[in-house]
Amino acid sequence: MADTVIDAATFAELQEAAGAEFVGELIGTFFEEAPQMLAELRAAQTAASADAFRRAAHSIKSNANTFGALRLGEMARELELGGLVADTAPLETLQAEYERVAAALRELSRG
Amino acid sequence: MAESGSRLLVADDNKVNRLLLGRSLEQLGHRVAMAENGRVALEMLRREAFDLLLLDMEMPEMDGFQVLEQMVADAHLRDLPVIVTSSLEGVAHVARCIELGADDYLPKPVNPVLLKARISSSLEKKRLRDQQQALVKRFATSEVAQDLQQSGFALGGKRLVATVMFSDIRGFTSIVEQQSPEETIELLNTWYTLMFDAISGRGGVVNQMIGDGLMALFGAPLPLADGPRSAVLAALDMIEMMQLLNVEREAGGKPALRIGVGIATGEVIAGYTGTQHRATYTCIGDTVNLAARMEAHTKLAGQPILIDQATCDALAGSLNLVSLGPVAFKGKAAEVPVHAVPAPTC
């Protein structure tokens, strides 16, 4: 598991491939979408809906990996493959990691 | 170039993925449309023409597997290349996509270099496939092409009832002697164009062209309602087109052309003959021989269109015919009744 919030190499590759300006816009889209995905994940856990839970975790994993948020991606992956969790603790851990990722991405897109 | 300027469809429910993939494809010079789930993607594929689909698997409403299943069942979408882009894990998922007809599988996040290579290769394959289909259509009739596409290629024939037509240009040899080879080729091309129009306009299929003659089928390889009548009406159209062509030819000081048409209806054996490498759609049997004899007999009878008894019976009095009585043909033990279809004079 990566120690950094955002893997610098992955992020640099993304910027190089798609252009820094476009990545800035993409981060904006991620900020709009991610809270909704996290909310869907929580709702699925409450409703014990395994399908919706897996799908939401899958989406978070996919976007996290795109930006190089490898730890967030790994956490989401464990939820996707592990299925429904009994208590909300893993979701809170995921939420906290997302906040760190969001802060780091905000910093990166400013720079 | 095959890979530039193609029209691609991206189907992904995740907006970040969709935008990023769209961006990568636009950077490669393609035009991109987006769909947010499988159902919308299928609707767009059925409405507009695309060269390639990039398909996510995990989607609400209709997932990627369902899209692939629907595409296989749809003759218009079956050949469209699909590249699956997914972060679903496990070889089983990948295998299932390929089994369902996907060309390739790219894990997410999609590597831009791999993306470019896979897209080029898929588009190139599609281009070759399109080219192949166009070739099949040029050298076979579209009916044969359709039959090949539906049933595959197998040597061997099947028995069916069809109406067979033979036609050629009277006195062609003397026409050829009076003009340059270039003029002859041009004349043949004009003649074939007119005859093809007349025949296909009535649902017939020209399956052989031999010098100044042709053989056409009505009711094979694909069934045709009222084949005998269609064949006779096509023959009348052919005569009419000849007359129009002759007005033009005579104005240019060239001799008028006359054609003979022989038609017979009955059982034929139709199918592919040749080898596994080179084959042709052929039709054989007594009916084919009889149609050829009828056509040859038009010279003797001084009539442009001759038909056999079976074709005459099928017309059930709907056209004016002149019975020429029984005629003895080479290769036929008994005499055969022949009927003439009088052509309108202009």
DSSP letters of B80-117? Answer: S-EEEEE---SHHHHHHHHHTT-SEEEESSPPHHHHHH
Percent residues over pLDDT 90 in chain A: 91
Tell me how far apart the alpha carbons of residues B270 and B227 are, in angstroms, rounded to a whole number.
16
Shortest Cα–Cα distance, B79 to chain A (Å): 29
The rounded distance, in Å, linking the Cα atoms of B53 and B74 is 15
Q: How far is Cα B255 from Cα B12, in angstroms, rounded to an integer?
A: 67
What integer pLDDT is reported at residue B346 of this predicted model? 45
Q: SS3 of A51, please?
A: helix
Task: Determine the pLDDT at residue A1.
Answer: 45
Distance (Å, rounded) from C-alpha A56 to C-alpha A45?
10
Nearest CA in chain B to A52: B60
Question: Is there a contact between A26 and B108 if contact means CB atoms under 8 Å apart?
Answer: no
Instruction: DSSP for B16-59, please give it.
Output: HHHHHHHHHHHHTT-EEEEESSHHHHHHHHHHS--SEEEE-SS-
B270 sits in which H/E element: strand B259-274
Q: Which helix (H) or strand (E) holds A24?
A: helix A20-47
Distance CA B62, CA B71 (A): 13
Nearest to B20 among A18, A58, A81 (CB): A18
* Chain A residues touching residue B27 (CB < 8 angstroms): 17-18
For every one of its 346 residues, what pLDDT tens digit does chain B have, with 9 covering 90 and above? Answer: 444 579 999 999 999 999 999 999 999 999 999 999 999 999 999 999 999 999 999 888 899 999 999 999 998 898 899 999 988 877 888 889 988 989 889 988 888 888 998 999 899 888 888 887 777 666 666 677 777 666 666 666 788 899 999 999 988 888 888 888 888 888 888 889 999 999 989 989 888 888 888 999 999 877 888 999 999 999 999 999 999 999 988 898 888 889 999 999 999 988 877 777 777 778 888 999 999 999 999 999 999 999 999 999 999 888 889 999 888 888 777 889 999 998 775 4
Length of chain A: 111
A-chain residues near B85 (CB < 8 A): none
pLDDT of B152? 66
Verify whether the Cβ–Cβ distance B87 to A30 is below 8 Å.
no
At residue B151, the pLDDT reads: 67
Q: Would you state the pLDDT for residue B294?
A: 94
Tell me the HSE value of B206 on the side-chain side, using a 13 A CA sphere: 22
What pLDDT, on a 0 to 100 scale, did the predictor assign at position B275?
Answer: 73
Q: Tell me the C-alpha distance between B24 and B7, whole Å.
A: 14
In chain B, which segments carry CATH 3.30.70.1230?
142-340
Instruction: Assign B244 to helix, strand or coil.
Output: helix
- Say if residue A3's pLDDT is above 70: no
Q: Taking the alpha carbons of B271, B274, B276, B280 in that order, is the dihedral positive or negative?
A: negative
**Nearest residue in chain A measured CA to CA from B110:** A66
Q: How many other β-carbons are positioned within 10 Å of the β-carbon of residue B6?
A: 22
Instruction: Report d(CA B143, CA B268) in Å as an integer.
Output: 17
**CA dist., res. B318 & res. B84, Å (int):** 59
3 state SS of A50: helix
- Domains of chain A, CATH where assigned: 8-110 (1.20.120)
In whole angstroms, what is the distance from residue B228 CA to residue B342 CA?
16
Residues 32-51 of A with CB under 8 A from B: 32-33
Whether residue B142 lies within 8 A of chain A, CB to CB, comes out as no
Q: Which residue of B has its CA nearest to A31?
A: B16
Tokens 């009076």, located at residue: B178
User: For residue B149, what pLDDT is reported?
Assistant: 67
Can you tell me the distance from the alpha carbon of B11 to that of A34, in angstroms, rounded to the nearest whole number?
Answer: 19
> What superfamily in CATH does domain B7-139 come from?
Response regulator (3.40.50.2300)
CA distances, B70 to each of A10, B37, B79, B245 (Å) = 36, 14, 12, 50
Which residues 107-126 of B are in CB contact (within 8 Å) with A? 108-109, 112
The hierarchical CATH code for the domain B142-340 is 3.30.70.1230
CB B301 within 8 A of CB B324: yes
Asked if B19 and A17 come within 8 Å (Cβ–Cβ), the reply is: no
Q: Which residues does B187 contact at the CB level (< 8 Å), separation at least 6?
A: B175, B179
Where exactly does CATH 3.40.50.2300 map onto chain B?
7-139
- Among the listed residues B181, B246, B189, the one whose alpha carbon sits nearest the alpha carbon of residue B212: B189
The neighbouring-strand residues paired with B31 are B7
* Residue A62 to residue B14, Cβ atoms within 8 A: yes
Which amino acid is present at B58?
Answer: E
Q: Which residue do the tokens 């009878």 mark?
A: B301
Alpha carbons B312 and B317: distance in angstroms, whole number: 8
Cα four-point dihedral sign B166, B168, B173, B176 = negative
B305-307 and B336-340 beta bridge pairing: antiparallel
